[in-house]
Every structure is written in structure tokens, then in C-alpha cells.
Amino acid sequence: MRVWLPATLLASLLLVLSAGMPVLEPLFNWVQPGKQQVIYERESFLFLLQNHLMLVVVSAAVGTFVAVAGGIFVTRPFGRDFLPLVGQVASIGQTFPPVAVLALAVPVLGFGEAPILLALVLYGLLPILRNTLAGLEGINPAVREAALGMGMSPVQVLVRVELPLAGRVILAGIRTSVTINIATAAIGSTIGARTLGDPVIAGLVNGNTAYVLQGAILIGLLALTTDSLFEALERSWDRRLQSVGV
């Protein structure tokens, strides 16, 4: 159970801070003197946190599904022709800044949650796709050959052999993707999505460092919580294999 402790602690801290930010008013008064209001109150932090999380979870779910499905497709005999293309897109795509996706998506999708969701899905997809390919391609070909040769159907080979063997690497890809997207989602505030980026943008516009700090602290904590959650997941994955004696 100890592997889950850091994640639990960080999550509690995040919740307590989101709910009880006004308690820290004296501190922010000291950071940002001469402002009447130092605690961001246009929207509750809990609501922003919830919305922010929703954006990340939805985009991660869609991204994971598409990327894993795509990764599986191009490593099957009938999809192999697309493997070089998809592999390159996965690598090059990540050099494309998410802000650019937003700039291109707004004219088409308008303001609000839709364009940032699109950007998050597209951007989050790439690390997962890359890792899915690495995981599946990294399997010893003799293992696949033996599985097929001994009478497993292609679906059985995928479900019983390939995915369990590639799972650890795919999970690492999801971790990278989600952690990046927690930071990226904040940019959504510039185009009208409600996220923890709101106080940061408001603070920048009004010259109120306290607002900026409050948003930044919560975003940072959220990223840390999620990352340690994945850390714990990966550890328990390894342990499940090790418990029987690897």
C-alpha cells in the first residue's frame, strides 16, 4: 500500500487548497501588497479543478483509445504499410506547439471547450502512439512466432501476449501524455474554456501576482498528484510480475 501514499497525500493537499484558498489571504497580501482583492473569487477553485480534470480525463481517454488502436492497426499484417508514416507523424507531431493547434482550431470550432479538447487529444495522442509502437515492436519476434505457431488466433496473440508485454511501455506513454496535458489544458483559458488557467490569465491581465500564483500552485499540484498516481500504478504493475519471483 505504501506506493499509493505520496499520491494520496498530494491529492489531499490539492483538495484542501482548492477548497480553503481564502485561509491563505494574509500570505497573498504579503506577496501582492496594495490590491483590494488577493484571492481569486470569480469562480470557485473546486469548480475549475473539476473542469480542468474533466478536460484532461476526456482527452486522455479518447487519445489513449485512438493511439492504442492506431498502434495496433499499423503493427498488424494488413496495416504494416502505414507503419513508417504513422511512426514519423508520432515523432514529428510532438515538435508542433499546442498553441498552434488552438490557433488553427478556434476559427473552425469557435471558443470554449471544443478547441482545447481537440488540441489536447491531438497532442496527447502522440506520446501514447509512440510508446504503443515501441512496446509492440519491442516484443521478441520469436515470442509472436511461437504464439502463432502453437495455434493462437491473431486476436489471442494480441490480447494474451502482445498487449500484456507492451502494457508497461504504453502506460508510461499515457503518463507522459497526461502530465503534459495538465499543463497544456491551462492554455484553454485564453480561448474561453474554464480551467485552472483562469486565475493565471486573470492575474496576468490585471497585474495580480497572487492570482497567478494560486492558479500555478494548483496546476502544479495537480500535475504532481497525477504523476505520482502513475508512478504508483507502474510500481504495482512491476510488483505484480515480481511477486511470483521475477
At its nearest, how many Å lie between other proteins and the CB of residue 171? 14
144 or 175: CB nearest other proteins: 144
In whole angstroms, the minimum distance from the beta carbon of 159 to other proteins comes to 13
Contact residues for other proteins (CB under 8 A)?
140, 142-153, 156, 161, 164-165, 241, 244-246
Kindly list the distances between the CA atom of residue 43 and the CA atoms of 36, 195, 197, in Å, as whole numbers in the listed order. Answer: 17, 10, 12
Assess contact for 125 and 63: CB atoms under 8 A: yes
CB of 127 to other proteins, least distance (A): 23
Cell numbers for 138, please give them: 519491442
Q: Which is nearer to other proteins, 75 or 190 (CB)?
A: 75
Q: How many residues would you count in the chain?
A: 246
**In the bound complex, what is the minimum distance in angstroms from residue 77's beta carbon to other proteins?**
12
CA 115 to chain centre: 17
CA distances to 102, 134, 188 from 181, rounded to whole Å, are 13, 21, 11
Q: Which is nearer to other proteins, 153 or 236 (CB)?
A: 153
Q: Smaller CB distance to other proteins: residue 154 or 207? A: 154
